[in-house]
């Protein structure tokens, strides 16, 4: 996969802007990344490419939490919102300071001052941080931005993909739901899901930490360009186990498993299972264009199944890609959270 | 070949959530079609039951034991992977408590299914005893069998649909994928294969014949009745 990154001329860094009903809008550095999708040999011989969108949509709001109202809701001073403005189309609440910096939550409801979020199992108001607690405190900074969706990333009635009436004839976007693949395709008008009779799934959320598997049936060249606000804080990514997750790189740079440059360091997670073979250890799967390369940590270095090299710590997880992480070990809540340090300095 | 590689590779996890086996994910729906009862001159969809899942007209995801590309898709014995008669009892994600041996028309409600329609994703894991029973060899062509009743016992008609593209892929990690929809081109209907009219497609027009065991019981009953009547006649 070819790719490029361009951190655009910084429109503005930090906080800019104005005060609209006590609402602060920030414009962050923006950039784009282009992923080249391998053409298919034919409709029945598709190609497969792993991609991810390493950018956020520009924020609609930034403010400080004024109160914690329940296990899943919190408020801001004044009346900065219009009721339900963040649910007509999906929005994320992204914590940019405090204990949860780098976490995001899908907003499920909002009043003029309060938002309710899907906490993905966390408890926002727990007084004692624990294995399953995310503690947000009054004064933490939160940013609200439109969530990336299939429609926002790729369009709805005009998409770069081959469209079709079934997933068997169209290009497919695979999203992993923690257990199975959700298979999406565009029928020329809307996004549809194989195995789901809903007519319009344009607003299907592609979370910032999720990878996408593109099954290309079109035989022409295809480049996907992802554009948006560059992450400017640490990111938090959960790798619960036992189980599997398909996680994005998170940052618009190449990462390595544990190399000298931009290491991911999954092996530092509490309980990460090491082993002498991939069959006994926790695994990281990286797509090589046709198959998965399977990596595991042996307690000293990263190794690859079927590769006798002793040290593969510097194996790249390229920008705009994703990895399948298969955990045999048990981890949940904060114990499964990898804090990824911002790997670059912004102007 | 490339397709197979891609699909195998795409396969990887599901049951890994709990069990570290390899798995095959079958994702299927009725697309823009409905399934109707045996009256081909009317359009009465098979019942989807209530809003709860698992109580509509029975359908079984399965395969014929001799169904591979190059043969016809209805060769051999039909083996149900789901629905009544299946040995698989794993819960179905997204359902209202439905298990694999309860698949029916109208499932899953949360995925938009109702009367005459269906839409769901099932995961078969090699190490999960509730979802690894009777899995076919890779390359087997899958079928869906419909009944007109909410149980096998109260059904009178059925039909089966298949497609050369509905090929079972070996379980993998991540899960390998089998995607099936009635919108797919080149559907093959068992009723038409057996010589019935073309308009029997999407209809349950095949008369259900009692199982051999049922026939045997019936014969025992008839013989018993005859003996009893003869003895009664002698007494009289």
Q: What is the pLDDT of residue B2?
A: 34
Query: Given B120, B173, B174, which is nearest A195 (Cβ)?
Result: B120
Q: What is the pLDDT of residue B231?
A: 61
The 10s digit of each residue's pLDDT in A42-52 is 888 899 999 99
Chain B residues lying within 8 Å of A244, measured CB to CB: 12-14, 16-17, 173-174
As a whole number of angstroms, the distance between CA A296 and CA A301 comes to 8
Kindly report the pTM of this predicted structure: 0.84
First to last CA, chain B: 78
In this complex, the residue of A176, A179, A324 whose CB is nearest that of residue B93 is A179
pLDDT confidence tier of residue B165, bands split at 50, 70 and 90 = very high
Give the mutation candidate from B31, B174, B178, B182 for the A interface (greatest A CB count, under 10 A): B174
Nearest-Cα distance to chain B for A309, in Å, is 23
Instruction: Report how far residue B126's alpha carbon sits from residue B173's, in angstroms, rounded to the nearest whole number.
Output: 11
Taking the C-alpha atoms of B165, B171, B176 and B179 in order, what is their torsion angle to the nearest 10 degrees? 40
> For position B227, what pLDDT does the model report?
54
**Predicted pLDDT of residue A146:** 98
Set of chain B residues whose Cβ sits within 8 Å of the Cβ of A166:
31, 181, 183-184
Structure tokens at B29: 């729906």
pLDDT higher than 80, residue B229: no
Would you place residue A102 in the very low, low, confident or very high pLDDT band (cuts 50, 70, 90)?
A: very high
Average pLDDT, chain B: 85
- Residues A281 and B20 sit within 8 Å (Cβ to Cβ): no
Cis preceding-peptide flag for B174 (omega within 30 of 0): yes
pLDDT tens digit string along A25-40?
555 789 999 999 999 9
pLDDT beyond 90 at B187:
yes
Between B39 and A333, name the one with better pLDDT. B39
CB contact burial A126-145 (16+ within 10 A = b; e otherwise): eeeeeeebbbbeeebbbbbb
pLDDT exceeds 80 at position A95: yes
Nearest Cα residue in chain A from B27: A195
For residue B74, pLDDT beyond 50: yes
CA A219 to chain centre: 28
Q: What does the DSSP assignment read for A53-115?
A: ---BPPPSEEEEEEEEEETTEEEESS--S-TTTTTTTTEEEEE-SSTTTT-EEEEEEE-SSEE
Q: What does the DSSP 8-state code read for residue B115?
A: T
A167 has a chain B CB within 8 A of its CB? yes
Q: What is the pLDDT of residues A69-84, one digit of tens each?
A: 999 999 999 999 999 9
Q: Give residue-wise pLDDT tens across range A145-157.
A: 999 999 999 999 9
As a whole number, mean pLDDT of residues B148-159 equals 97
Under the banding of pLDDT at 50, 70 and 90, the label for residue B226 is low
What is the arithmetic mean of pLDDT over A246-269? 96
Phi, psi of B75, rounded to the nearest 5 degrees: -90, 135
Residue-averaged pLDDT of chain A: 90
A294 in Cβ contact with A326 (< 8 Å): no
pLDDT at residue B21, as a whole number: 72
> Look-up: residue for tokens 């060249």?
A221
Residues 6+ away with beta carbon under 8 Å from B231: none
Q: A197 vs B111: CB contact, 8 Å cut-off?
A: yes
Spell out the residues 6+ positions from residue B31 whose beta carbon is closer than 8 angstroms to its own.
A165, A166, A197, B181, B182, B183, B184
Distances (CA, A) of A297 to A207, A236, A243, A278, A294: 27, 21, 17, 8, 11
Residue B220 has pLDDT above 90, yes or no: no
Query: Which residue does chain B place closest to A294, by CA atoms?
Result: B173
B177 and chain A: CB distance < 8 Å anywhere?
yes
Tell me what ipTM this predicted complex has.
Answer: 0.78
């Amino acid at each position: 996969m070819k790719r490029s990154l361009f951190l655009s001329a910084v429109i503005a860094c930090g906080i800019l802007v104005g005060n609209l009903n006590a609402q602060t809008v920030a414009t962050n550095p923006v950039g784009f990344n282009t992923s080249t999708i391998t053409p298919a040999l034919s409709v029945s011989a598709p190609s497969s490419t792993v991609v991810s969108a390493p950018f956020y949509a520009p924020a609609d709001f930034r403010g400080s939490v004024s109160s914690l109202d329940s296990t899943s809701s919190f408020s801001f001073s004044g009346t900065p919102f219009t009721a339900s403005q963040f649910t007509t189309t999906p929005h994320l609440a992204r914590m940019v300071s405090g204990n949860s910096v780098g976490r995001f939550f899908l907003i499920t409801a909002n009043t003029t001052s309060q938002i309710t979020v899907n906490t993905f199992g966390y408890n926002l108001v727990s007084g004692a941080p624990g294995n399953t607690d995310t503690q947000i405190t009054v004064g933490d900074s939160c940013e609200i931005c439109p969530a990336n969706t299939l429609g926002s990333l790729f369009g709805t009635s005009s998409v770069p993909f081959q469209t079709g009436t079934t997933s068997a004839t169209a290009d497919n976007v695979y999203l992993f739901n923690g257990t199975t693949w959700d298979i999406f395709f565009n029928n020329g008008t809307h996004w549809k899901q194989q195995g789901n009779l809903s007519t319009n799934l344009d607003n299907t959320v592609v979370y910032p930490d999720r990878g996408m598997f593109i099954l290309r049936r079109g035989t022409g060249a295809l480049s996907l360009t992802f554009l948006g606000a560059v992450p400017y804080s640490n990111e938090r990514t959960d790798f619960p186990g036992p189980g599997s997750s398909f996680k994005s790189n998170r940052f618009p740079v190449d990462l390595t498993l544990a190399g000298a440059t931009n290491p991911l360091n999954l092996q530092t997670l509490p309980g990460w299972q090491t082993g002498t073979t991939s069959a006994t250890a926790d695994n990281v799967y990286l797509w090589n264009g046709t198959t998965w390369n399977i990596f595991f940590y042996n307690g000293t270095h990263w190794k690859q199944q079927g590769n006798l090299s002793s040290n593969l710590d510097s194996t790249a997880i390229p920008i705009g890609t994703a990895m399948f992480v298969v955990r045999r070990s048990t981890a949940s809540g904060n114990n499964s959270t990898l804090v990824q340090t911002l790997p670059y300095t912004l102007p | 070949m490339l397709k197979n590689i891609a699909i195998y590779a795409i396969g990887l996890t599901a049951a890994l959530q709990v069990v570290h086996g390899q798995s095959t994910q079958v994702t299927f729906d009725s697309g823009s079609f409905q399934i109707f009862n045996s009256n081909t001159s009317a359009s009465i969809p098979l019942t989807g039951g209530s809003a709860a899942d698992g109580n509509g007209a029975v359908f079984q995801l399965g395969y014929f034991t001799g169904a591979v590309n190059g043969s016809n898709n209805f060769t051999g014995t039909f083996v149900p992977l789901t629905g009544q008669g299946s040995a698989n009892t794993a819960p179905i994600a997204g359902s209202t408590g439905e298990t694999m041996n309860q698949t029916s028309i109208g499932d899953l409600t949360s995925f938009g299914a109702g009367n005459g329609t269906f839409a769901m994703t099932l995961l078969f894991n090699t190490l999960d005893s509730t979802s690894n029973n009777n899995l076919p060899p890779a390359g087997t062509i899958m079928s869906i069998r419909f009944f007109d009743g909410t149980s096998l016992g109260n059904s009178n008609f059925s039909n089966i649909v298949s497609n050369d593209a509905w090929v079972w892929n070996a379980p993998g990690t991540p899960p390998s994928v089998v995607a099936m929809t009635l919108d797919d081109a080149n559907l093959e209907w068992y009723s038409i294969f057996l010589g019935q009219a073309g308009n029997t497609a999407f209809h349950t027009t095949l008369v259900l014949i009692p199982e051999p065991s049922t026939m045997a019981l019936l014969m025992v009953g008839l013989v018993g009745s005859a003996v009893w009547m003869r003895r009664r006649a002698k007494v009289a």
